[in-house]
A = this chain, B = another copy of it.
Amino acid sequence: MTVTTVHQPTHREALWELEAAFDRGDLITVFGHCTVEYDGRAASSLGLGRRLLLLKPDGTALVHTDEQQQPVNWQPPGSEHHAAVRDGRLRVRSVRSSPDETLDVRFETVEQLSAMAVSGRRDLSVTGSEADLRNALLDQPDAIEAGFEPLATERPTDVGPIDLFGRDSEGRPVVVELKRRRVGPSAASQLQRYVEAIRREEGDDADVRGLLIAPSVTDRARRLLAEAGLEFAAVEPPSSDSDAGDADAADATDANDDSVAAAGDDASGPSAAEPANDE
């Protein structure tokens, strides 16, 4: 049995289950009527309501409502969870130091408490990141511009590391800043900062180019680049069009063998089945 659940437990029962789950290193969910107080880098307070508290064995605490991707309150990994019954309420407190922070969740009633044994990989490799873009451009330097010669990635300067550094066909140093998505003014400032650092290194009269590579650029950023004498080149990130096989398979059909739940999910076409390609 990899999950333990109690419904509408007394606070003592809930406390006992929490203690056991802490010891087992389980992932814990607590749903109930609670208040939430946070004090640390900032401070906040949340009145009574039914919410879901998630407690992880690494010290993470998350309070979720029925809206938003982000938790309404939280405590980062490395915290310590404590539970106690006090003033007729079940209090779950997650604390960490450096910085000193406390999250307090006080339950008037606990509707459900579950403890689950998690397993399997929790790290995942994402394709389509800036690093992937960099590697693709290193394989095809001409995609940047004809004759571009890469010299270094993450080249250090005294204002931070340059994504990609090289020389153009005429031997001029080129500072390349890569972004996986549309860029705004901050990316232009970042590139300018790096270019000026290289100019200082090479001598103030050095002819150093700055090149921002991204799928697109906002108007303001384009103007900033122009004013600073920097260049822009549009390059799509190498995610969806490079490896579209699995995406197409996942996109093509729906709802065959059995019924379907949810609004507006019309079966498009019960065509040929794709081979299962996971696990």
Contacts and interface: CB of A to CB of B under 8 A. Distances in A.
Contact of A62 (B19, B45, B69): B69
Contacts of A57: 66-67
Given A27-B64, A128-B43, A258-B12, A48 B279 contact: yes
A31 interface: yes
A258 to B, nearest CB: 4
Interface in A224-269: 224, 237, 239-240, 243, 246-247, 250-251, 254-265
A58 B64 CA distance: 13
Interface in A29-60: 29, 31, 33, 35-37, 39-52, 54, 56-58, 60
A42 B73 CA distance: 27
A76 interface: yes
A122 B261 contact: no
> How often does this chain occur in the complex, in copies?
2
Contact of A264 (B25, B58, B80): B80
A160 B276 contact: no
Contact of A120 (B16, B50, B260): B50
A5 B5 contact: yes
Contact of A83 (B26, B117, B261): B261
Contacts of A192: 189
B77 A68 contact: yes
B39 A84 contact: no
Nearest to A34: B120
B122 A116 contact: no
A238 to B, nearest CB: 10
